[in-house]
C-alpha cells in the first residue's frame, strides 16, 4: 500500500499552497478533499446556467505576491485584475465615492465634509504606515514568548527591534491602533459620520464585534494590507472568479507531482504511539503518511478529526475555548443586466467597485446589537460587487454576477437552525435593502443563492461559517493563534501540522498560513526550504 | 505652615481630590514646602460625604473602599488621622428575582443554585486571578516603564516584570495571561462557568465605572484591576463615608506641613520661558512655585489651565483625543427604615448588593448608552452603609447605588423630566427586589454623569479621568509623553486618576507622582 510523505486534509487555498510548496521540495503529497470540487472557500462554481459564482470569498488582494511568484501561478492561469470605484449610498439620496486618484478622493471628501480633507491625508498615511509595518510579519512564524529556544529568542528579538525601530511616537500610536475600536480610531480623524461609516465596514467584516468594540481598528488593517501588482491596499478579481486561485495552486501542486483526491472526506487522523500514521476516510479507507497537515480549522481538527486522547486534554480544552463564531452571510445573485442606482451620476464608473448602503455608525452598531440577540441585522452592512463589470468571463454576455456580503448574520437564528424559510426571509431583507436604492434591481434578478454561516459550515467546514477560520481578536492573533502550543503550525502529536487561516496570520485569501506551515514542515525534515519569506515588495 | 510673604512654594498642587492629598502628603513628608489649592469649600474632590436634603449623609461618588493602596494608608498613617472602617471584607450578594441570592467571597461562592463544579471553578479561577494580581500588582505602585528613556528605576521594573512573568508565573500561566489580557469578560466567564447569576455578577465587576459591556474586548483587564489594586479586592465601608477617607488624608497632609486653601479656584497655571512659574487664582491672586502638580483632569489641565500654546500641537491633539465617557449614574435615597429585600435577612444587607442577573442583561443595559439613551433595565451596586454606621443617619437609613448605564450625552439632554424618569426607573428596579422600598423613601436624588462633571470636574462624567482601556493604560496613560507624571513642560506634573494607574479611591497615582517629583528627573 502506498505511503505518502504528506497528506493535506482539505483543498482550500492554504492547503493547496502548503501542498504545492511541499511537492516543489520533492515530497510525495496527497491533498484530500471532501467535496466534489476543490478550493474550499476559494471557488468559482456553476450554480446557475452559465454563471460562475465566487460563492464564498470574492476578492483577491491579501494573496501574497511571493507565493504567486514562487509557485509560478501566472503560468497556471492566475491573473488578477484590479478594480476601481466603489461608493456608500446615503439615506438622503446622495453617495460617497471611492476614487483611487488621491486628488479626486480629496475633492469627493470636500464635497461632503471640508474639515475632513486633511484628516483623510493623515488617515491614509497612517494606514499605509501600519501596512508597511505589518506586511513583513505575514510570512514569518510567530515566536513562542514562553520559550527559551534560540530560534524563539531570535524571533522575539527581531520583533522587539522592529517595534522599537518605529520610534517612540509611532510605537505608541501603533499600540493604540492595535487595541482601539474602529469607531474611536476614526473619531480621531474624521468629523463626518458618512465618511466614518464608509471606512468602518472593513473593520467589522467577518468579526463578532461592533464598530465600538475595542480591537476592530486592527481588523481594518487586516483588510488593507494586501496589494495587487505592488499597489498596496488595492483590490482585484482573479479572472474567472476566486476558483482561478485554487485552480492555479492545484496546477502548481500537480506540476510538482502532487495528487488531489476529491470526494474523500476524512473521518479521523490516525495516530499511533504519539505519531500520526495517516488518515481514515469517511468510507473507511485508510491512507498512510508520515505527516498529516490539517487545513481544517482548529476546532474541527482537534475536536472532530482527532480522538480526544490523541489530542490530549490541554489541546481539547484550548480548542473548545477557541472562538469561531459566525457573524456574516452572503447572497450570490445572477442578474440580467446592470442595476441602476438613482444616486449615482449617469454612466459613473464607480459601480465597478465595492459599494455599501449603511451611511452612519449608529446603524452598524444597532446591526451588531441585533446579532448579539441571535438575529440578522435589519439594516445590514453590505459589501456588494459586480465582478462581471471588470471580468466578463463569469456570466453570459450582457449578464452579470453580483456578490453581496452581509454583516451581521447569526450562525443560528435565536438558537434555531436555519431552514429554507429563514434563509428566504434573510435574503429578502437584503434584496429589499438594495432595492430601496435601485428601482430596477429586483426585476433584473434571475437567480439568488442565499448563504448563512450555518450553510457555509455544512458545505465547506468553516465552524459557524466564520470567514477567518476563527475570530481575529487580540486573544487569537500571532502566538495566540489558534492557541499557545499550536501557534507554530505543529499539532500536539508528531507529524501533525496545521496550515489553515486558523493559524498566523489568519484569514483572508492570503496563502501565508499554508506557506509558513510548509516551511516549518520542511525545517523539521531538514530539507532546504523552497518557501519564500517576505521579499519586501514595498 | 504659615503663609509666606512672597507666596512662594516648592510645589503647588492644583485640586484637593484624594490623589492630590496623597501627593501633597508624600511631598511634605519629604520636606517640600507644599501649597494645595482647592476650588470647592472642602477638599476631597469626588470622594466626599454629601449631606442630603433632610440631613442624612452619603458618600458622594464611590461608596465602597476597595482599592485604597495599603502602602499609602501605612505611609501616611491614615488610621492615626481618623480613618476607621465600619465594615471590612464584606461579601457581594448577587440578587436573584426569585429570592435565591448568591453570596460571593474571595474564593468561595454559595447560594443562587450554583453547582459544585461552578463553585470549584470559582475557587480555581479566583485563585488564579489573585495569583496574576499578586505577580503583576507591583506595577500599580510604580511609574509606567518609559521604554525609550530607560532610567535605573525603569530597568529594574522591566527586569522585575520579565522575571515575575517568566519565573513566578511559569510558562503555562504566562501564556494563559497573554491570551486573556485582551479578552472581553463575557468570553472568559463563559469559558469557566455555567451559572448565569454568577457570570452576571462577575461581569458587572468588569464593567463597573467603564464605558463597556461584557462583550467589549479588553474588560477582562478591568476585572483583574479590581483585584490587583488595594487590598486584594477586599471591599470595606469607611466610617463616616468616603469623606472620612479624604479627611484623614487631609489631616495627614496638614500634619506633614501642607498648606491647604479651599475656595481657591485656579484660573491658570503660569509659564515663563518653557517652565512653570506658579498659578493664578480666579480672584487674581498669584502663587509661585517651580513645580505644579495638577490633580485636575488632564484635558482641563492642558487645554484650560496651562493652555495649548505651551505644548506641541501633536501633544495637544493627543490630550484632546483621550476618551473619557462616563456611563454610570448614582442614586442616593434617604429612608425612614430599612427596606425588606425578599430572601435576605436584615443582617445580609450590610453587604454589597449587586443587580446583574445575567451577562446578557448587563450587555443589553449597555446597548442603550451607545445611542445616548438610558438603560431601561439598569444594573446596580447597592450599599446601605447606615446599617453599620449610624453617624450617617441618626434616625432611619441611607441607601446609595451605582447605576449602569446612563450616558453623558443623553439624547435630548438631562432635562428635569429625563432625570425624574430615570430616577423612577432606578427605584422601580430596586423595588423588584425590595418591594416595600417606596414606603420607606423620604428623599431620593439622581446624580448623572453630567452632574459628576459639574460638581467634581470629572470631564465626560468618567470616574477615572480617562477610560481604563488597553490603549489608555500604563505608558499610554494619559498620553505617552506624560506617562511618568511629568508633562513636556518643565516643572509641570499630573497626580490624578488620569495618570497611571487610574481611578478608584486608590491614592497610587498621587503617591507615584510624588515619588517622581522627589526624584526630579528632567525631561
Evaluated on CA atoms A408, A413, A417, A418, the torsion sign reads negative
For residue A35, CA distances in Å to A32, A38, A479, B382 come to: 9, 7, 31, 58
A40 has a pLDDT exceeding 90: yes
Instruction: Decide if B503 contacts B464 (C-beta within 8 A).
Output: yes
- Range(s) for CATH 3.30.519 in chain B? 324-456
Name the phi and psi angles at A354, rounded to 5: -85, 135
DSSP H or E segment with residue B76: none
Predicted TM-score of the model (pTM)? 0.96
Give the per-residue pLDDT at A205. 92
Q: How do the domains of chain A map onto residue ranges?
A: 3-45+59-80+239-321+467-524
Q: Identify the burial level of B22 via C-beta atoms within 10 angstroms of its C-beta, where 0-12 means exposed, 13-18 middle and 19 or more buried.
A: buried
Is the peptide bond between A435 and the residue preceding it cis, with omega within 30 degrees of 0?
A: no
Nearest to A179 among B166, B360, B470 (CB): B470
Q: Report how far apart the first and last C-alpha atoms of chain B are (Å, whole number).
A: 31
In chain B, which residue's Cα lies nearest the Cα of A168?
Answer: B148
Q: What's the confidence (pLDDT) of residue B522?
A: 54
Which 3 state secondary structure label does DSSP give A251? helix
Asked if B181 and A474 come within 8 Å (Cβ–Cβ), the reply is: yes
Nearest to A279 by CA among A298, A256, A297, A304: A304
Min CA distance, B502 vs chain A (Å)?
Answer: 17
Using CA atoms, how far apart are residues A410 and A427, in angstroms rounded to an integer?
Answer: 13
Judged against a pLDDT cut of 70, whether residue A304 lies above it is answered with: yes
Closest of B108, B162, B105, B98 to residue B135, by C-alpha: B162
Average pLDDT of span A119-127: 93
pLDDT (average), residues B114-140: 95
B216 in Cβ contact with B184 (< 8 Å): yes
DSSP, res B165? I
CB < 8 Å to A209, chain B: 217
Residues A323 and B187: their CA atoms lie apart, in Å, by 9
User: In chain B, which residues touch A (CB < 8 A)?
Assistant: 147-148, 166, 171-172, 174-176, 178-183, 187, 191, 212, 215-218, 314, 321, 323, 360, 363, 367, 370-371, 469-471, 475-476, 480
Q: What is the mean pLDDT of residues B223-247?
A: 93
Percent residues over pLDDT 90 in chain A: 90
Q: Is the pLDDT of residue B186 over 50?
A: yes
* Radius of gyration of chain B measured on its C-alpha atoms: 22
State the nearest Cα–Cα gap between B162 and chain A, in angstroms: 11
How much is the pLDDT for B313? Answer: 95
Q: What is the pLDDT of residue A78?
A: 95
Closest CA to B132 of B67, B64, B179, B71: B179
The whole-number average pLDDT for the span A22-49 is: 97
Tens-digit pLDDT profile for residues A327-358: 999 999 999 999 999 999 999 999 999 999 99
Topology (CATH level 3) of domain A3-45+59-80+239-321+467-524: FAD/NAD(P)-binding domain (3.50.50)
Other Cβ atoms closer than 10 A to A283: 9
Q: Please, which pLDDT band fits residue B2 given cuts at 50, 70 and 90?
A: very low
Nearest-angstrom CA–CA distance, A211 and A190: 15
CB contact (8 A) between residue A146 and residue B175: yes
pLDDT of residue B57 exceeding 70:
yes
> How confident is the model over B432-456, as a mean pLDDT?
97
CATH architecture type of domain B324-456:
2-Layer Sandwich (3.30)
Q: If pLDDT is split at 50, 70 and 90, which confidence band does B147 have?
A: confident
CB A501 within 8 A of CB A468: yes
- Mean pLDDT, residues A424-434 taken together: 98
- For chain B, residues classed under CATH 3.50.50.60 are 8-49+65-85+240-323+460-519
Q: Are strands B34-37 and B259-261 parallel, antiparallel or unpaired?
A: parallel
Residue B170 is placed in which grid cell?
Answer: 511559569
Q: How does pLDDT run across A467-519, given as a tens digit for each residue?
A: 999 999 989 999 999 999 999 999 999 999 999 999 999 988 999 999 999 99
* High-pLDDT (> 90) share of chain B, %: 92
Kindly state the percentage of chain A with pLDDT values over 70: 98
The label of the residue with cell 505651551 reads B310
pLDDT tens by residue, B342-365 = 999 999 999 999 999 999 999 999
For A268-281, what is each residue's pLDDT tens digit?
999 999 999 999 99
Q: What is the DSSP letter of B292?
A: E
Chain B: nearest CA to A223, how far in angstroms? Answer: 20
| CB atoms A215 and B215 under 8 Å | no
Mutate which of A368, A484, A487, A488 to disrupt the B interface (most B C-beta within 10 Å)? A484
What are the residues whose beta carbons fall under 8 Å from the beta carbon of A217, sequence distance 6 or more? A177, A178, A179, A180, A181, A182, A184, A185, A203
Determine whether B348 is exposed, middle or buried from the number of CB atoms within 10 Å of its CB (0-12, 13-18, 19+). middle
Residue B216: closest CA among B96, B367, B379: B367
Q: Would the pLDDT of B58 be above 60?
A: yes
**pLDDT > 60? residue B1:** no
A483 touches chain B (CB under 8 A): yes
For residues A465-478, one letter each, b for 16 or more C-beta atoms within 10 angstroms of the residue's C-beta and e for the rest, the string is bbbbbbbbbbbbbb
Nearest alpha-carbon partner for A489 in A512, A507, A464: A512
Rounded to whole angstroms, how far apart are CA atoms A302 and A318? 9
DSSP B388-457: T-GGG-SSSEEEEEEEE---SS-TT-S-HHHHHHHHHHHHHHHHTTSTTHHHHEEEEEEE-HHHHHHHH-
SS (H, E, C) A464-514: HHCCCCCCCCHHHCHHHCCCCCCCCCECCCECEEECCCCCCCCCCCCCHHH
Q: What is the mean pLDDT of residues B30-59?
A: 96
Beta carbons of B178 and A484 less than 8 Å apart: yes
Tell me if A40 sits within 8 A of A270, measured CB to CB. Answer: no
- Give the nearest chain B residue to A369 (CA atoms): B367
Question: Is the pLDDT score of A229 beyond 80?
Answer: no
Average pLDDT over residues A369-397: 97
pLDDT tens, position by position, B273-329: 999 999 999 999 999 999 999 999 999 999 999 999 999 999 999 999 999 999 999
pLDDT value at A156 more than 60? yes
C-alpha to C-alpha distance for B162 and B166, rounded to whole angstroms: 6
Per-residue pLDDT at A230: 64
Annotation: CATH topology of B8-49+65-85+240-323+460-519? FAD/NAD(P)-binding domain (3.50.50)
How close is the nearest chain A Cα to the Cα of B475, in Å? 8
Q: How far is A511 from chain B (nearest CA, A)?
A: 25
d(CA A131, CA A505): 13
CA distance B59 to B13: 24
Burial status of residue A324 (CB atoms within 10 A of its CB: 0-12, 13-18, 19 or more)? buried
Q: Is a pLDDT exceeding 50 seen at residue B463?
A: yes
Cβ of B179 within 8 Å of Cβ of A475? The answer is yes
Residue of A nearest to B179 (CA): A475
Distance, in Å, from the CA atom of A422 to the CA atom of A375, rounded to the nearest integer, reads: 11
Asked if residue B374 lies in contact with residue B405, where contact means CB atoms within 8 angstroms, the answer is yes
- pLDDT of A228 reads 65
Confidence of residue A529 (pLDDT cuts 50, 70, 90): confident
Is residue A7 within 8 A of residue A278, CB to CB? The reply is yes
ipTM score over 0.85, yes or no: yes
Using an 8 Å Cβ cutoff, are A359 and A197 in contact?
yes
Shortest Cα distance, chain A CAs vs residue B431, angstroms: 27
As a whole number of angstroms, the distance between CA B442 and CA B289 comes to 49
pLDDT at B3 exceeding the cut of 60 = no
Q: According to the model, what pLDDT value does residue B229 have?
A: 87
For B510, phi and psi rounded to 5 degrees?
-65, -40
> In this complex, do A176 and B314 lie within 8 Å of one another by their Cβ atoms?
no
Write down how long chain B is: 523
Q: Least CB-CB distance to B321: which of A146, A188, A362?
A: A188
How much is the mean pLDDT over chain B? 95
> How many CA atoms are closer than 13 Å to the CA of B523, on its beta-carbon side?
18
| Cβ contacts of A188 within 8 Å, gap of 6 or more | B321
Cβ atoms of residues B359 and B214 within 8 Å: yes
Amino acid at each position: 500500500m502506498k505511503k505518502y510523505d504528506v497528506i493535506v486534509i482539505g483543498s482550500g487555498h492554504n492547503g493547496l499552497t502548503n501542498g504545492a510548496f511541499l511537492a516543489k521540495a520533492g515530497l510525495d503529497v496527497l491533498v484530500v478533499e471532501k467535496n466534489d470540487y476543490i478550493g474550499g472557500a476559494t471557488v468559482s462554481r456553476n450554480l446557475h446556467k452559465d454563471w460562475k459564482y465566487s460563492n464564498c470569498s470574492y476578492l483577491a488582494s491579501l494573496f501574497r505576491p511571493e507565493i504567486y511568484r514562487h509557485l509560478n501561478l501566472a503560468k497556471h492561469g492566475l491573473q488578477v485584475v484590479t478594480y476601481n470605484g466603489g461608493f456608500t449610498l446615503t439615506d438622503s439620496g446622495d453617495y460617497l465615492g471611492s476614487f483611487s486618484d488621491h486628488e479626486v478622493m480629496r475633492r469627493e471628501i470636500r464635497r461632503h465634509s471640508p474639515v475632513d480633507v486633511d484628516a483623510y491625508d493623515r488617515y491614509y498615511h497612517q494606514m499605509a504606515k501600519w501596512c508597511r509595518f505589518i506586511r513583513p510579519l505575514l510570512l514569518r512564524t510567530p515566536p513562542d514568548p514562553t520559550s527559551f529556544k534560540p530560534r524563539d529568542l531570535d524571533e522575539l528579538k527581531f520583533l522587539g527591534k522592529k517595534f522599537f525601530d518605529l520610534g517612540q511616537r509611532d510605537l505608541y500610536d501603533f499600540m493604540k491602533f492595535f487595541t482601539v475600536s474602529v469607531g474611536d480610531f476614526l473619531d480621531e480623524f474624521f468629523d463626518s459620520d458618512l465618511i466614518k461609516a464608509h471606512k468602518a465596514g472593513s473593520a467589522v467584516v467577518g468579526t463578532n464585534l461592533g464598530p465600538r468594540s475595542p480591537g476592530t481598528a486592527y481588523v481594518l488593517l487586516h483588510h488593507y494590507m494586501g496589494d495587487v501588482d505592488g499597489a498596496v491596499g488595492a483590490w482585484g478579481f482573479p479572472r474567472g472568479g476566486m476558483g482561478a486561485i485554487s485552480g492555479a495552486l492545484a496546477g502548481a501542486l500537480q506540476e510538482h507531482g502532487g495528487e488531489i483526491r476529491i470526494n474523500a472526506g476524512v473521518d479521523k487522523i490516525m495516530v499511533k504511539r504519539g505519531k500520526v500514521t495517516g488518515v481514515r476516510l469517511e468510507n473507511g479507507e485508510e491512507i498512510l503518511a508520515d505527516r498529516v497537515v490539517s487545513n481544517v480549522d482548529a476546532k474541527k481538527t482537534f475536536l472532530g478529526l482527532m480522538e480526544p486522547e490523541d489530542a490530549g486534554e490541554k489541546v481539547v480544552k484550548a480548542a473548545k475555548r477557541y472562538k469561531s463564531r459566525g457573524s456574516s452571510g452572503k447572497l450570490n445573485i445572477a442578474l440580467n443586466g446592470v442595476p441602476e442606482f438613482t444616486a449615482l451620476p449617469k454612466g459613473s464608473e464607480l459601480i465597478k467597485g465595492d459599494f455599501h448602503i449603511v451611511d452612519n455608525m449608529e446603524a452598524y452598531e444597532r446591526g451588531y446589537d441585533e446579532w448579539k440577540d441571535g438575529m440578522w441585522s435589519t439594516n445590514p452592512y453590505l459589501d456588494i460587487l459586480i465582478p462581471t463589470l471588470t471580468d466578463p468571463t463569469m456570466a453570459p454576455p450582457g449578464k452579470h454576477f453580483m456578490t453581496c456580503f452581509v454583516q451581521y448574520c447569526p450562525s443560528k437564528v435565536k438558537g434555531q437552525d436555519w431552514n429554507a424559510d429563514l434563509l428566504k426571509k434573510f435574503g429578502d431583507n437584503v434584496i429589499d435593502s438594495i432595492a430601496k436604492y435601485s428601482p430596477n434591481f429586483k426585476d433584473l434578478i434571475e437567480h439568488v443563492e442565499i448563504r448563512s454561516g450555518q450553510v457555509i459550515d455544512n458545505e465547506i467546514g468553516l465552524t459557524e461559517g466564520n470567514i477567518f477560520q476563527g475570530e481575529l481578536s487580540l486573544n487569537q492573533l500571532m502566538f495566540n493563534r489558534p492557541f499557545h502550543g499550536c501557534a507554530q503550525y505543529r499539532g500536539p502529536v508528531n507529524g501533525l501540522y496545521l496550515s489553515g487561516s486558523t493559524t498566523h496570520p489568519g484569514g483572508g485569501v492570503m496563502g501565508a498560513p499554508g506557506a509558513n506551515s510548509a516551511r516549518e514542515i520542511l525545517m523539521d525534515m531538514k530539507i532546504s526550504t523552497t518557501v519564500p519569506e517576505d521579499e519586501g515588495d514595498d | 505652615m504659615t503663609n509666606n510673604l512672597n507666596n512662594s512654594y516648592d510645589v503647588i498642587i492644583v485640586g484637593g481630590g484624594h490623589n492630590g492629598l496623597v501627593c501633597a502628603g508624600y511631598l511634605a513628608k519629604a520636606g517640600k514646602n507644599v501649597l494645595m489649592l482647592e476650588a470647592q469649600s472642602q477638599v476631597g474632590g469626588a470622594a466626599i460625604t454629601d449631606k442630603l436634603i433632610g440631613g442624612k449623609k452619603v458618600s458622594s461618588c464611590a461608596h465602597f473602599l476597595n482599592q485604597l493602596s495599603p502602602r499609602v494608608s501605612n505611609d501616611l498613617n491614615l488610621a492615626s488621622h481618623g480613618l476607621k472602617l465600619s465594615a471590612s471584607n464584606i461579601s457581594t450578594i448577587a440578587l436573584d428575582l426569585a429570592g435565591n441570592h448568591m453570596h460571593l467571597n474571595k474564593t468561595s461562592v454559595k447560594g443562587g443554585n450554583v453547582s459544585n463544579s461552578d463553585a470549584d471553578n470559582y475557587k480555581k479561577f479566583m485563585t488564579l486571578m489573585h495569583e496574576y494580581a499578586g505577580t503583576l500588582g507591583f506595577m500599580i505602585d510604580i511609574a509606567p516603564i518609559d521604554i525609550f528613556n530607560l532610567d535605573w528605576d525603569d530597568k529594574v521594573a522591566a527586569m522585575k516584570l520579565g522575571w515575575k512573568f517568566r519565573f513566578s508565573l511559569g510558562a503555562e500561566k504566562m501564556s494563559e495571561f497573554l491570551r486573556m489580557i485582551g479578552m472581553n469578560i463575557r468570553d472568559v466567564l463563559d469559558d469557566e462557568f455555567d451559572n448565569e447569576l454568577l457570570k452576571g455578577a462577575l461581569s458587572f465587576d468588569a464593567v463597573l465605572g467603564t464605558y463597556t459591556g461584557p462583550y467589549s474586548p479588553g474588560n477582562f483587564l478591568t476585572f483583574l484591576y479590581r483585584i490587583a489594586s488595594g487590598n486584594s479586592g477586599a471591599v470595606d465601608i469607611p466610617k463616616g463615608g468616603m469623606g472620612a477617607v479624604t479627611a484623614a488624608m487631609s489631616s495627614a497632609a496638614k500634619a506633614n506641613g501642607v498648606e491647604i486653601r479651599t475656595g481657591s479656584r485656579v484660573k491658570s497655571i503660569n509659564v515663563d520661558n518653557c517652565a512653570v512659574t506658579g498659578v493664578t487664582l480666579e480672584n487674581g491672586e498669584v502663587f509661585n512655585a517651580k513645580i505644579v502638580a495638577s490633580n485636575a483632569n488632564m484635558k482641563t489641565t492642558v487645554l484650560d489651565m496651562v493652555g495649548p500654546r505651551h505644548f506641541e500641537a501633536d501633544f495637544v491633539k493627543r490630550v484632546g483625543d483621550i476618551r473619557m465617557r462616563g456611563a454610570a449614574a448614582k442614586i442616593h435615597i434617604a429612608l425612614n427604615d430599612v427596606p425588606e429585600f425578599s430572601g435576605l435577612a436584615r443582617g445580609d444587607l450590610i453587604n454589597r448588593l449587586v443587580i446583574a442577573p445575567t451577562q446578557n442583561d448587563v450587555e443589553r443595559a449597555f446597548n442603550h448608552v451607545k445611542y445616548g439613551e438610558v438603560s431601561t433595565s439598569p444594573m446596580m451596586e447597592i450599599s446601605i452603609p447606615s446599617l453599620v454606621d449610624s453617624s450617617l443617619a441618626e434616625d432611619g437609613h441611607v441607601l446609595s447605588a451605582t447605576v449602569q448605564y446612563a450616558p453623558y450625552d443623553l439624547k435630548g439632554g438631562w432635562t428635569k423630566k429625563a432625570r425624574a424618569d430615570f430616577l423612577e426607573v432606578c427605584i422601580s428596579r430596586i423595588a423588584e427586589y425590595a418591594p416595600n422600598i417606596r414606603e420607606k423613601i423620604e428623599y431620593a436624588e439622581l446624580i448623572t454623569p453630567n452632574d459628576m462633571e459639574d460638581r467634581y470636574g470629572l470631564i465626560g462624567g468618567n470616574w477615572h479621568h480617562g477610560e481604563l482601556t488597553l490603549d489608555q493604560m500604563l505608558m499610554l496613560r494619559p498620553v505617552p509623553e506624560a506617562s511618568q507624571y511629568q508633562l513636556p513642560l518643565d516643572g509641570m506634573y499630573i497626580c490624578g486618576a488620569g495618570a497611571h494607574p487610574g481611578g478608584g479611591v486608590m491614592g497610587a497615582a498621587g503617591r507615584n507622582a510624588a515619588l517622581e517629583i522627589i526624584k526630579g528627573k528632567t525631561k
